[in-house]
Structure 1
């Protein structure tokens, strides 16, 4: 078993400097929204980087059309009443330690989630039964139209249950035992993860079966500052950026050996509003903030015209995002000013509103990288235009999560990465106050609509309708302001690597790295 000291050895020996990549080695920089992960434990973690996609497999995967395709399960069948699901498993799959993956593995895996942050993924499953070594049945407590999605997420990655139990808190930090195309070599929290190819891998998602990765060693670096990360790409220090800030798109496109791969985004930038902190305990002030944000100006000024203005909490690819017009939040300065007038806040001589001798001043929390800082400065100016003065407080990307848990934030600029409507429950459930529900919303009607959305549907159509109603009601309370829906822009050095185009996957994770080729 690796010791944590060994995990830190690589950087200590090199004095913090990276060793240049060898012929079959690739160095990639993680997206800013994946930095700060402290573990690769899929059961307990609330933040996992792309490394988790590569060290584990899941029962099912998703293709570029968000359709479900085989991964560890080669086929599945749902009973007409939704009360059982049967999965036929791929034969011959083994964990990194040589342990066979069988139906018993799945039976032993599900109970690991009891009492964990991610238990909700499998709350609808009563238990699993072994039908044969390669066939497992889920017996349900209730129908769950979202089960395949839950099984396809990175948090449904399947570790070896025996190794998971034996290693305890060290699992996911000192050692990882999965079935994925890469094995953990070392993990230095906050700095880098080094992965080694699993030469036995032959059960990839979708059509990617029959061969291991073409990369021998993959180093995933964490560089929180976007400009620093881009400089590393430009000077050859790294081979790939998993996310290229729009500031640098022109330089990539103008370079002879750098290229962009553009993928649909599955993340959203938004501004949570703490409904318990004055002045935002007044819904009129929250309404004003929601309509004071000029989203299109932000798309053009901060993101170079790429991506789109957001008007709700869900990415536009999801049917549950198609809410009624009256619940969409768009730029409307007249409405913002009227809401503040109605709330009794009057503009002073300096343009900042006052009430009862108190200035309308708040704090706006943000992350330390340059894009977040610039975005926050634009938001700050737009709020000031309607008479609200926001002081920007900047936190390190990892530290800000602990700060949120204090509940002291008023406004913040942040992002999430998810492509399912259940993200509404994650960020607005009364059972998740402080973090991740940093809006601190705890509304009885919202809780009723949440329950209907999460557990009350018998089929996909009912689920969509229930989540749409939940989405609309949350928006009517203004616990956040939507800002921006990005695209994913990957940059890579064409002298070093060749990327698959088109990529038949929703994200550049397992399938992308399996197809990536290294130039000699």
Structure 2
């Protein structure tokens, strides 16, 4: 079933509150329009606590306790200082004074006492599970008493899923929060949100608490920012080229030659934070057989995709983590690379004989599988190449393209998909837990993998590490076991590319952060 989204605007009361906190609301001349990455299209809400898919605009609405720079160092945003006890069983955070939410409510220690328990029972609960309680030291100081050490706590705090909403607004809107309204303390207030189409933001003219990653310590220079959702990368490129939009937050590599040929367009890059990969549904035949899964993974020619589709920009992906993470440094024998000879051997061993039309058969059944993807030029092109690579070893694949806003609901059914082409953006090893934990079958665990040994390794990695070194070792062991079971096939590790009109906007000389988010957007000026 496909689902149709519909426009949902801010309720009158929340819109009035947001407008009330924009004293400069008459200065609408400083406008800009950005286009978010096609992978971000279709996020159903701006609820960072209950949401499982958030888009790039989330960081503009909400502040976080800490944020990360490109070198993965941590910098205070709503927290100014922090320290952990030697045993990791307590963290103390000093909070930034003078911060208010868009609805005028103060940010203080009471906010944190309310905020942390909200994650209980949500799919994001793992981010705060290690926190036993929050103690108030004074109005601007809190202490986290831990159930167990969590050396990853700062990384969690830097996630956009830990943007802090106004307690008053969150409680008042209930399950409508994030759709009919969203109230944070960030540099922009939410004016309207049309699911799958666009988000309109206004400068928070009270903003005076940017992190030290921003040159501008006051309100954003952009007074009205429209963030559009355009699923087709070619359409987004045309919009930038013809002046319909000012910036693309993500650009496919195959558009680079055309963009670089345009005198009015500037292109920038950041290190990649994600992987393109193929989750393999381990609960549906023929992929209940590990030999078929391994053959499928070995059929993928990463170098061909890197060179021919991405012009050699980025790198091959041979496991599930970006190469900058220490837990990506696995036993080389476990990395997954193109090996068609071994793929053919495995399929023969599994009883799948090559048919006259190039598709294998077994007991009268053809090795014809479903290959899903989402709309977007890049996804469709990668999927078409993967289809041809599978066919080269005798696996036929029928491609189905879903709207990015609805495909996750299809995965949740659990038994209709077999293979898919997906990507993620996340600079932390706990992404393995997110996509392979047995508690998240269907989505985000599209592989439908629920393995007892994996669950033990997962628990140790997520909750059994006292130090950062232990955490790396535990995630490396978990990662290696996932690789050994061939529950996915790695494809490609991109760099992050953005492009913008030099005539319309000016970016700071250095883009700060692991991706282009609020710390850079507040510094962008309109020409």
Coarse TM-score class (shorter-chain normalised): over 0.9
The superposition leaves residues 8-42 of structure 1 with CA deviations (integer Å, 9 ceiling, x where unpaired) of: 9xxxxxxxxxxxx9741110001011110111011
Aligned residues of 2:213 and 2:519 also touching (Cα < 8 A):
no
Partner of 1:114: 120
2:475 equivalent in structure 1? 467
TM-score by length of 1: 0.95
Shift of 1:506: 1.3
1:79 to 60, 85, 91: 85
2:495 is the alignment partner of 1:495: no
* Secondary structure of residue in 2 paired with 1:255: coil
Instruction: Determine the structure 2 residue equivalent to 1:231.
Output: 238
Partner of 2:17: none
Matches within 5 A, 1:437-456: 437-456=445-464
SS state at 2:293 partner: helix
* Paired position in structure 1 for 2:522: 514
Residues 244-301 of structure 1: per-residue CA shift (max 9 Å, x gap): 1122111110001011111111111000001111111100010101111110100111
Q: Is the 8 A contact 2:110 2:136 kept in 1?
A: yes
2:232 matches 1:241 = no
> Contact between 1:266 and 1:418, CA under 8 Å: does it hold in 2?
yes
Whether 1:429 and 2:418 are equivalent positions in the alignment is: no
Distance (whole Å) between structure 2 residues aligned to residue 22 and residue 114 of structure 1: 40
- Report if the CA contact (8 A) 2:44-2:405 is conserved: no
Q: Residue 226 of structure 1 contacts residue 245 of structure 1 at CA under 8 Å; is this kept in 2?
A: yes
- Stretch deviating more after TM superposition (350-359 or 42-51): 350-359
Q: Is the 8 A contact 1:95 1:178 kept in 2?
A: yes
CA displacement at 1:336 relative to structure 2: 0.9
Q: Structure 1 residue 173: deviation in Å?
A: 1.6
In structure 1, runs of 5+ residues without a counterpart are 9-20
When residues 6 and 455 of structure 1 are mapped into structure 2, their CA distance, relative to the original with a 3 A threshold, is closer
Matches of 1:255 and 1:7, distance apart in 2: 42
Q: CA deviation at 1:6?
A: 6.0
Residue 522 of structure 2 aligns to a residue whose secondary structure is: helix
CA RMSD of aligned residues (A): 1.6
Find the counterpart in structure 1 of residue 308 from structure 2. 301
Could you tell me how far apart the structure 2 residues matched to 1:472 and 1:168 are? Answer: 41
| CA deviation profile, 1:164-219 (whole Å, cap 9, x unmatched) | 11121222122222110000111111110000001111111234363221110110
1:375 equivalent to 2:382? Answer yes
- Equivalence for 1:163: 169
Shift of 1:4: 4.1
Displacement of 1:454: 0.5
Residue of structure 2 in register with 1:16 after alignment: none
**Matched residue, 2:261:** 254
Residue 22 to residue 493, structure 1, CA distance change in 2 (3 Å): farther
Aligned to 1:169, the other structure's residue is in SS state helix
Aligned to 1:287: 294
- Tell me which residue corresponds to 1:57: 63
Unaligned runs of 5+ in 2: 1-6, 13-26
In 2, Cα distance between equivalents of 1:5 and 1:196? 14
Which of 378, 392, 410 is the matching residue for 1:403? 410
1:394 maps to which residue?
Answer: 401
The separation in 2 between residues aligned to 1:24 and 1:136, in whole angstroms, is: 39
Equivalents in 1 of 2:225, 2:456: separation in Å?
46
CA distance in 1, matches of 2:232, 2:11: 23
Q: Secondary structure at the match of 1:50?
A: coil
Using the alignment, how far apart are the partners of 1:281 and 1:461 within structure 2? 35
> Where do residues 33-182 of structure 1 align in structure 2 (5 Å cutoff)?
33-182=39-188
Aligned residues of 2:69 and 2:213 also touching (Cα < 8 A): no
Asked if structure 1 preserves the Cα contact closer than 8 Å seen for 2:9 and 2:192, the reply is: no
Q: Separation in 2 of the partners of 1:140 and 1:198?
A: 35
Residue 108 of structure 1: how far off its partner (Å): 1.3
Q: Could you say if the C-alpha distance between residues 466 and 161 of structure 1 is closer, same or farther in structure 2, counting changes exceeding 3 Å?
A: same
Per-residue CA deviations over 1:54-110 (Å, capped at 9, x if unaligned) read 111011110110011111110101011111100011111111122111111111111
